[in-house]
Structure 1
Amino acid sequence: MIFFSSPLFYFCVAQMENYTYNSLILQLEGLRITKTNKHPVFLFLLLTYVFILIANVGIVFLIWTERSLHQPMYLLFCNLSVNDVMGNSLLVPLLAYIHVPPSERFIHYYECVMQAFTSHMYGTNAHTVLMIMAFDRYVAICNPLQYATIMTGKMVIKLTVSAWGVAFVLVGILLGLTIRLNRCRTLIMNPYCDNPSLFKLSCDSVFINNVYGFTFTVVLLSSSIGSIILTYSKITAACLTNKSKSLNSKALKTCSTHLCLYLIMLLSGTIPIILHRFLQYTEYRKISAILFYIVPGSLNPIIYGLQSQEIHRCLSNILQLRKK
C-alpha cells in the first residue's frame, strides 16, 4: 500500500468532507494505541507476520518439492496457505506501518477498494477451499477404491479454480455494488478497509448493498456449514459400518485436522460479523477483525503439519541430510 507523505495536506482535505463529495482521500479510524504500548504492538505484529510467512511459504515449498507429498490432500491445502499469505501480507504490515506510531492515517480511495476486495477474497476463499478439502476427505474415506480415478490432477485443478473463481465472482459483485455509490464521508470506522466500512461512507440508499451482503453471507455460510455437515455425516457413517481399524484411524487423523481448521476459521470470522451489530463494542470488533487474519494464518500450518506423518517424515529427512 502506498500512503501519501504529507499528512497536513490530507488532513486539510479531510476537513472539507462536509463540502465535497466523492473525496479520493479517506481516513482510517484505526486502533487506540498509546505511546507506552506502541512498540510491543509493533513487535507483535511484525513477529506474527514473519512467522505466518515462513510457516505457510515453507509448507507450500515442502509440498511442491517433495514428490511423496504430491497428493490431492496436500495440494489442496496449498490453496489455504496461499490464501493465508495473501490475506496477512495485505493487512499485517499495513497495520504495523500506519498504527505504530499513532498518527493521522490516510489512504487513497482506490487503494481502499483493492484492500477491501482482497480482504473479502481472503474470507470467502477460506470457506471455499475448506469445502473442496472436505470433498477430498469424503472421496478418500467413503470411496477409497475409486479415489485415484476421481481425484486426478485435472480434478484438483478444477476444484482449485472453482474455489477461487466462485470467491472472485461473489466478492466482485459485492464491491461492484459499493463503488457505484456516491460518498459524502471520509472516515473509515475500521483499522482497515472492508465493504461495510466503504458503503457506510455513502449518503445514497444502501438497501441493495445490505440485501446482497446479507444474502452473500447467508449463502456462503449455509453452503459451507451444510457441506461440512453432509460430508462428515457420511464419513462417520462409513467409519461406523467399516470395522477396519486402519481406515478409522486414518479418517480420525485427517478429518480431525480438517475439522479443527474449519472451526478455527468459522469462529474467527463469525465474531467480527456479530460485533458489527453492536456499536458499543467497536474496539473489540476491530481487534477480532485483525485476529480473523492472524489466528488461522498462524495455526493452519502448525495444526496441519503436526497431524501429518508424511510431512513429519519429509522434514526429518531434510534435517538428517543437513546434519550429514
Structure 2
Amino acid sequence: MTPNIPLILLFIVGLFIFLSSFFTVKQQTAVVVERFGRFLSIRNSGLQLKIPIVDKIAGKINLKIQQLDVIIETKTKENVFVKMKVSVQFKVIQDKVYEAFYKLEYPHDQITSYVFDVVRAEVPKLKLDDVFERKDDIAIAVKRELNEAMTTYGYDIINTLITDIDPDIQVKNAMNRINAADREKSAAEYEAEAGRIRIVAKAKAEAESKRLQGQGIADQRREIARGLVESVDVLNKVGINSQEASALIVVTQHYDTLQAIGADSNSNLILLPNSPQAGSDMLNNMVASFTASNQVGEAMKRGAKKNPPRENRNDFIKPSDNPYTEPTDDPDII
C-alpha cells in the first residue's frame, strides 16, 4: 500500500499553521501585533496566540533602560570650542508602547536633536570654567527639555549625564600652564613664609641668648660685688680698714690677672705697667675719682635748693617793687 502523499503534505501544512499560531515574548519586551496591516494589540512577556496568516508581529519594543551617547561640539561665551559627551538614559513607558512604536520612527535621532538644541543654547552663555563647574545644571536643563518633548512619544528620560568636556588642545595647554604657574606662585609664597619664620625664630633665639647672657653678666657682677663686700667686712674684723682692704683686693686681682695672662702660652699681650705700685696707683685714682664725683653731686644739690626753678620770675616781684605798677596822682599818666 503506497502512502497518500497529499494527506502527508496537508498534515505538515496544518502542523506548521498550528505551531505558527503560538509565539513567546521575552521579559521586559513588548510585541505589537497587527491584523491585515492594522494595529490589533500589544502582547507582553509569556506565551501568546495569534491567528496564522491573518495576524502578524509588526515589531518588538525593548522596555529596558537604554543609553544614548551624544557628542556635541559647541563654543563657550569667550569663543572657546569644546566637545561635550552627553549620556542620555531613557526607556519606553509600558503604558505608551503604541505611541513609542507608531509616532517615532527613529527615536535616537529625535533625542540627539533635542540634546544638540539644549546644549548649544546653554553652553554659549557660560565661560569655560563655568561649563566645568555648572555641568550638572546643563544636564538638568537637557533632561527637562527631553522629558517635555519625549513623554508625548512614550519615552521616559531617566537621567542625563555630561560625562566628558574636552576643550581645544591649545586651550588645555594654556590652562595647564596657568595651573602650573599658580602652583609655582603658591610654592614660592610658602617658601618665603618658611624663610621668614626661620629668620624670626633665629632673631628671637639670638635676642633670648643676649638677654640671658646679659642677665648672667649682671648676676656675675652682683656676686662679685657681694663677695667684695664680704671680703671687706672680714678684713675690717681683723683690724684692716676699708682703704687698706680695697688696696689688698685690687693688688690680689692684679696678680690674678697677670697669672691668667701668663698661663696662655700663645698670648702676645703685654700689660704696662705691671709692678705692684701700678695697682696702688690705680686704687688711688679710683678713690680720687669717687671723691670728686661725690663733691660735684653735693654742690649741684645745694645749688638746686638755693635757686628753685620758676616758671615766671614776675611772680616773685612785689607790686611795690615794680615801677610800672606804682600808683600815681598825675592825671596825664595812665
Would you say same fold, with TM above 0.5? no
Determine which structure has the larger helix proportion and give its number.
1
Q: Name which one, 1 or 2, has greater alpha-carbon Rg.
A: 2
TM-score normalized by the length of structure 2: 0.20
TM-score normalized by the length of structure 1: 0.21
Higher relative contact order (CA 8 A, sep 6+): 1
Determine which structure has the larger strand proportion and give its number.
2
